[in-house]
C-alpha cells in the first residue's frame, strides 16, 4: 500500500467513523456572510488525478425489476456500496472488492436517500413510499429502527459530534432530525420551501440544505437544530443536488430547472462560476483525492469535471440511458452507475478513470 493511498484510507475512515475531535465539537460556525470560521487555514489540497477518459470495467447484473434507482452510499471501511432501488422498494448491498451483490433488502418502498454511517454501524434509508426513515445494522443487515411521519424523505446527512441524522423532507418543506443512536425523531426544522439534498460540512460543522423553491442554501446548527443563515443562489433554478469540498471551501450545486452547475465559495457565499450540465441534474459524486466531480442527470448525461483550486475543467460528457445517479469509491476512484435497463435487465456499470 502506497503512503498516499494509506493516508487517504485513514482520512476517509476518520471522517466517517471516528470519535469527534475537539474541533468537531464546535457548534455550527455559519454567519450572515460566510460558512468558514474566522482564522481557519486551508490545508494543502491534493493535485488532480489522471485526466484520462472513463473506461468501462464491467456491467454487473443487479437483482430486481428493470426500474428506477436513486441515491447510493459507499462505505470504504467495509468496501460496500449501498444502492436505493427506488421503484423496486429495496436496498441493494454490493461488495465492491468482490464485485458481487451480497443482499437485496425489502421493506423500503420507494427508496430514495441512503447513507452509511460506520460510526453507528448503521445504514439509513429514506423509504418515501412509507414516509419513513429506516435504519439497518451494517453488521447483520437487520432492521434497527424506523422513524415515521416524514412526508417525502429524501437526502440524508450525519452530524458526527451531535450523533444526529438530518433527513430532507422534500414535500414537508423541512429537515427532520433523528437521534442516530436510538433511531428516534427529535424535531422537524421548517425551511420555508421544498428541501433538496442535505449535506454535512466538516469545517463549519453545519448541516447544509438546498431549498429548491427558494433558490437558496440554508445552514443549520446541528447542536441547536436551528437555522443560522440563508444564502441566495443568483442564477440557480430549483437547486436540488449538491456536494461539498470541505477543505477547499467549495460547494457544487446543480439547478434542476436550468441544467446548471454552480460553484459556490463557502468563504464568501458567492457564486464563483456556472457550468452547463445534462438536463435535469440529480446526483453528484465528489472524489476528494483526485479532485474530480461527477454530475449525473435524469437525461442520462454524466458530466465529469477536474477541479484545481476553484478552476473547473470539463473532462468529458457521457451519454448513458438512465445514468442519473452516481457514486465513487475513494479508495480506487472507480465510478458506479446503476442503470435500470440495459438489454432488458438492471446492471451496475463500473468505470475507471484511465491514465
Q: Is residue 22 situated within a structural domain?
A: no
Q: Confirm whether 275 is domain-assigned.
A: yes
Mean pLDDT in residue range 124-128: 98
Indicate whether 8 belongs to any domain. no
Task: Tally the domains of the chain.
Answer: 1
pLDDT greater than 60 at residue 234? yes
SS3 221: strand
Least confident segment among 24-28, 121-125, 248-252, 288-292? 24-28
What mean pLDDT value characterizes the chain? Answer: 92
- pLDDT value for 11: 42
Check which CATH number belongs to the domain holding 158 and give it: 2.130.10.10
168 lies in which domain range? 50-353
pLDDT at 14 over 80: no
Mean pLDDT is lowest, of 25-29, 32-36, 158-162, 311-315, for 25-29
Residue 162 lies in a domain: yes
pLDDT above 90 coverage of the chain, percent: 86
Is 260 among the domain residues? yes
Query: For the chain, what percent of residues have pLDDT higher than 70?
Result: 92
Tens of pLDDT, residues 240-299: 999 999 999 999 999 999 999 999 999 999 999 999 999 999 999 999 999 999 999 999
Tens of pLDDT along 165-179? 999 999 999 999 999
Asked if residue 12 belongs to a domain, the reply is no
C-alpha span between 315 and 303 (Å, rounded): 8
pLDDT at position 26, please?
A: 60
116 vs 38, higher pLDDT: 116
Split at pLDDT 50, 70, 90, the class of 127 is: very high
pLDDT confidence bin for 8, thresholds 50/70/90: very low
Residue 24 lies in a domain: no
Average pLDDT estimate for 193-210: 98
What are the DSSP calls for 89-137, one per residue?
TEEEEEETTTTEEEEEE---TTEEEEEEEGGGTEEEEEETTTTEEEEEE
Q: For 40-58, how does the pLDDT look when each residue is reduced to its tens digit (9 = 90+)?
A: 998 999 988 888 899 999 9
Residue 148 lies in a domain: yes
Read off the pLDDT of each residue in 310-318 and give the average, rounded to a whole number: 93
Q: How far apart, in whole angstroms, are the C-alpha atoms of residue 32 and residue 220?
A: 12
pLDDT band at 354 (very low <50, low <70, confident <90, very high): confident
C-alpha cell at 289: 483525492
Question: What totals of helices (H) and strands (E) does the chain contain, helices first?
Answer: 1, 28
The CA distance from 305 to 296, in Å, is 12
Those residues whose C-beta lies under 8 Å from the C-beta of residue 151, and which sit 6 or more positions away, are 131, 169, 170, 171, 172
DSSP code at position 203: T
Q: Which residue reads 491534493 in cell numbers? A: 46
- What is the pTM for the complete model shown? 0.92
Amino acid at each position: 500500500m502506497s503512503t498516499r493511498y494509506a493516508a487517504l484510507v485513514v482520512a476517509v475512515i476518520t471522517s466517517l467513523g471516528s470519535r469527534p475531535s475537539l474541533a468537531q465539537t464546535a457548534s455550527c460556525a455559519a454567519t450572515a456572510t460566510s460558512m468558514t470560521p474566522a482564522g481557519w487555514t486551508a490545508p494543502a489540497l491534493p493535485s488532480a488525478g489522471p485526466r484520462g477518459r472513463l473506461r468501462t470495467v464491467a456491467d454487473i447484473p443487479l437483482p430486481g425489476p428493470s426500474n428506477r434507482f436513486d441515491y447510493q452510499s459507499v462505505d470504504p471501511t467495509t468496501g460496500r456500496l449501498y444502492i436505493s432501488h427506488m421503484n423496486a422498494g429495496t436496498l441493494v448491498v454490493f461488495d465492491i472488492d468482490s464485485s458481487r451483490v451480497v443482499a437485496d433488502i425489502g421493506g423500503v418502498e420507494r427508496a430514495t436517500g441512503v447513507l452509511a454511517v460506520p460510526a453507528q454501524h448503521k445504514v439509513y434509508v429514506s423509504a418515501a413510499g412509507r414516509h419513513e426513515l429506516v435504519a439497518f445494522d451494517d453488521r447483520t443487515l437487520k432492521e434497527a429502527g424506523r422513524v415515521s411521519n416524514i412526508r417525502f424523505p429524501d437526502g440524508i446527512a450525519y452530524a458526527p459530534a451531535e450523533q444526529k441524522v438530518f433527513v430532507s423532507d422534500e414535500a414537508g418543506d423541512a429537515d427532520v432530525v433523528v437521534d442516530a443512536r436510538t433511531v428516534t425523531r427529535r424535531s422537524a426544522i421548517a425551511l420555508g420551501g421544498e428541501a433538496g439534498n442535505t449535506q454535512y460540512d466538516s469545517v463549519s460543522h453545519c448541516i447544509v440544505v438546498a431549498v429548491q423553491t427558494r433558490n437558496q442554501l440554508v445552514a443549520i446548527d446541528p447542536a441547536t437544530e436551528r437555522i443560522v443563515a440563508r444564502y441566495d443562489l443568483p442564477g440557480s433554478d430549483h437547486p436540488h443536488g449538491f456536494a461539498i469540498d470541505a477543505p477547499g471551501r467549495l460547494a457544487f450545486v446543480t439547478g434542476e430547472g436550468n441544467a446548471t452547475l454552480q460553484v459556490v465559495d463557502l468563504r464568501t457565499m458567492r457564486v464563483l462560476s456556472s457550468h452547463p450540465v445534462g438536463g435535469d441534474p440529480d446526483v453528484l459524486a465528489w472524489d476528494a483525492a483526485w479532485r474530480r466531480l461527477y454530475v449525473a442527470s435524469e437525461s442520462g448525461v454524466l458530466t465529469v469535471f477536474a477541479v484545481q483550486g476553484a478552476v473547473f475543467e470539463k473532462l468529458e460528457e457521457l451519454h448513458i440511458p438512465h445514468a442519473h445517479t452516481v457514486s465513487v469509491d475513494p479508495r480506487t476512484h472507480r465510478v458506479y452507475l446503476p442503470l435500470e435497463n440495459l438489454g432488458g435487465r438492471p446492471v451496475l456499470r463500473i468505470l475507471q478513470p484511465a491514465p
